[in-house]
Structure 1
Amino acid sequence: MSEIAGLVLPFFGLIFIGFAVARITRQPLEALGWLNTFIIYVTLPALFFQLLARTPFEELTEWSFIFGSVFSTFLIFMMMFAGSLLVAGNIAESTVKGLAAAYGNIGYMGPGLAVLAFGEKAAVPVALIFCFENVMHFTIAPMMMALGGGDRRSWPQLAAGIVSRIVLHPFIIATALGVLAAYFEWSPPLPLDRLLGYLANAAAPCALFAMGVTLALRPLRRIPVEIVPISLLKLVVHPLLCYVMLSLMGDFSEVWLFSAVLLAALPTATNVFVIAQQYGVWVERTSATILVTTCASIMTVTGLLYMIRAGILPLDLFP
């Protein structure tokens, strides 16, 4: 257990440091802009590219793995969306709740924690899951908001916006370039490789610090009654469903299987707040959901890593 604590506490400690510094210095949220730009456009793309480019190309075409992990996320979204729609009858609000239950913090928390827990090979399944899940989320959100009347764009404009948001996302561009480099077996020159290495090493600390700052500057005003089902779906049901789904889909390596399960166990992504704010739907309660699930994930993620390291979870449920 001490090994797990040594793994998790520094990781969540970076979030706490960001939270504490933001509370002490009282800088406005806008002051975080350039750090977020550095993370999104530079460090995490460098990490994804560097590690994907070093991976044998055949490992990057595990379609059964991609389908199993992404489909489990879609099912979680549909569970929360359908339940909320039956109770509240509001498509836009139900969409945000569904995203809160399904859209994990796989961008800021995912790469750093997975690589720390399972080694550099974990970056490959993390990058694949990130790309395909974001394609799904970037498609679902505007389409459902349009159906709910929250997005007034025409369908051609909506489709163009979805495509541009997907193909121009820096993580997805970096992943595509990394896959191309792996396919052609191209290695960057030594000076460029060293630069990419420096940037990749900065990805996790900067992302976690920025996340702590963001949580501190979005005060907890109102805890929604839906926090219980959302938290259970996000932190417990989602990783369990992903584990079962991938066990059904095929035989994957320990790193790939448990990296996917770990990503499924992560708390609600800060991007869900951005989506809620963009459409003016369930904004304050989304902020509270992110904070509550992040705090609760300290216990759930620690417990999951303990079960993985202790061998409590078999590599394949259906050998």
Structure 2
Amino acid sequence: MLQILGITGPIFILIGIGYLSARGGLVNPIQVQGLGKFVITFALPALVIHALLEKPLGEVFDPLYLLAYGIGSQLVFWGGFLFSRLVRRDSLSGSALAALGMSVSNSGFIGYPIVAMVLGPPAAVALALGMLVENLLMIPLALAIAELGRQNGSGARAALQETFSRLVRNPVIISISIGLALALLDLKLPGVLAKVIEMLSSASAPVALFVIGASLVGLRAGGLLKDVAQLSLGKLLLHPLAVLLCFQLLPPVDPALKVAGVLFASAPMMSIYPILGQRFGLEGRCAAALVVCTVLAFASVSLFIGVMR
């Protein structure tokens, strides 16, 4: 138990520092937003490029990992969507956002620092592979369905076009494309540029954890017990269990990547979840779930570290 706390403790201490800094007025929301943009626009893309170029593409691209992580995430997504839509009678947009919150992790801000402390270098490879699933499959699917809930008839085509337009401008998607292109062409970055990429990638974890902590200030979970319970249970328990099940049933992958996939799935939902929900009038629900899942993740991540060990 002490070993697990030694791994997860520093992560949540950094989150706590970010929270207390924002709560005490040392940083304001505009500064926190700027730090978040730095991570999303520069640090995380640099981390992805660094991961894709650190090893030969054949060692980075693992189709069995993509299959297991993708199927596990899809199982939870559609399970959450159907439960929200058929049992709880939620709207199409609300069901899509609930499914998204249950099946897409905060891979860069929380998942990566945790997995990096447990496994070291394989964490960056798993991050790049996981982001392929999240950014090319899960997020576009959820947003397309949510947009369809706001439009009728011809709106479907417009929703798909808008989703695709946002996707191709995503810095992470751009970095994946650059990294894959360089890897396929077997090209190496010049020494100076490679060093810049390495320095930016190393800044990703601590700055990201500070941002997620600061972003929790002001969020409240009151009055949304059923929504928060569904999202917390789905994200922190069902998602990692579904991914673990897929790893067990499919042909074996690198044991380190298997551990990484389950731990990434055990992280809470992405920190931009309330921002995505705001477009559909669901920011309160999404923010409340983010607060609770981030707090409960200390226990769930520790649990799955123990299970995987």
* CA distance in structure 1 between the partners assigned to 2:48 and 2:189 by the alignment: 14
Give the match for residue 129 of structure 1: 130
CA-atom RMSD, angstroms? 2.0
Q: How big is the shift at 1:27?
A: 5.0
| TM-score scaled by length of structure 1 | 0.90
CA 1:9 to 1:37, structure 2 compared with 1: closer, same or farther past 3 Å?
same
Residue aligned with 2:146, SS: helix
- Give the SS at the match of 1:279: coil
1:145-168 Cα deviation digits (max 9, x unpaired) = 233226898334322222222222
Report deviation, 1:33: 2.3
Structure 1, unmatched stretches of 5+, are 310-319
Compute the displacement of 1:267 (Å): 0.9
The one-letter amino acid paired with 2:188 is: S
Equivalence for 1:315: none
* TM-score w.r.t. length of structure 2: 0.92
- Using a 3 Å threshold, how does the CA distance of structure 1 residues 150 and 262 change in structure 2: closer, same or farther? farther
Written as runs of structure 1 = structure 2, the 5 A alignment for 1:217-256 is 217-256=218-257
Structure 1 match to 2:76: 76
Q: 1:170 to 1:254 in 2, by over 3 A?
A: same
Contact 1:151–1:279 (Cα < 8 Å) also in 2: no
Which residue is 1:52 aligned to?
52
1: CA distance, partners of 2:22 / 2:84: 34
Contact 1:221 1:284 in 2 (8 A): no
What CA deviation, in whole Å up to 9, does each residue of 1:161-210 have, x standing for no partner? 22222222111211222222222332222222222221111100000100
Counterparts of 1:127 and 1:151 in 2: how far apart (Å)?
A: 36
The answer for the alignment partner of 1:262 in structure 2 is 263
| Residues 71 and 160 of structure 1, relative CA distance in 2, 3 Å threshold | same
| Match in the other structure for 1:184 | 185
Runs of 4+ in 1 over 6 A off after TM superposition: none
**Correspondence for 2:16:** 16
Bigger shift: residues 121-130 or 226-235? 226-235
Taking the aligned partners of 1:153 and 1:292, their CA distance within structure 2 comes to 38
> Which 5+ residue runs of structure 2 have no aligned equivalent?
none
1:67 — aligned with what? Answer: 67
Residue correspondence of structure 1 range 93-108 to structure 2 within 5 A:
93-108=94-109
Give, in whole Å, the separation in 1 of the partners of 2:83 and 2:125: 34
CA drift at 1:5: 1.7
Cα distance per residue 1:244-299 (max 9 Å; x no partner) = 10222211111111111111111122222111101113x21211111111111101
Q: Percent identity?
A: 26
**Aligned-partner Cα distance in 1 for 2:214–2:138:** 24
Contact kept in structure 1, 2:18 and 2:209, CA below 8 Å: yes
Q: CA deviation at 1:89?
A: 4.3
One-letter code of the match for 1:109?
Answer: I
Count how many residue pairs are aligned between Structure 1 and Structure 2. 308
1:85 partnered with 2:85: yes
- Report the Cα distance in structure 1 between the residues aligned to 2:104 and 2:36, rounded to whole angstroms: 19
Alpha-carbon distance in structure 2 between the residues aligned to 1:151 and 1:30 = 37
Q: Distance in 2 between matches of 1:132 and 1:5?
A: 29
Letter in 1 for 2:265: A
The CA distance in 1 between the partners of 2:15 and 2:51, in whole Å, is 24
The separation in 2 between residues aligned to 1:148 and 1:307, in whole angstroms, is 39
Distance in 1 (CA, whole Å) between partners of 2:219 and 2:28 is 11
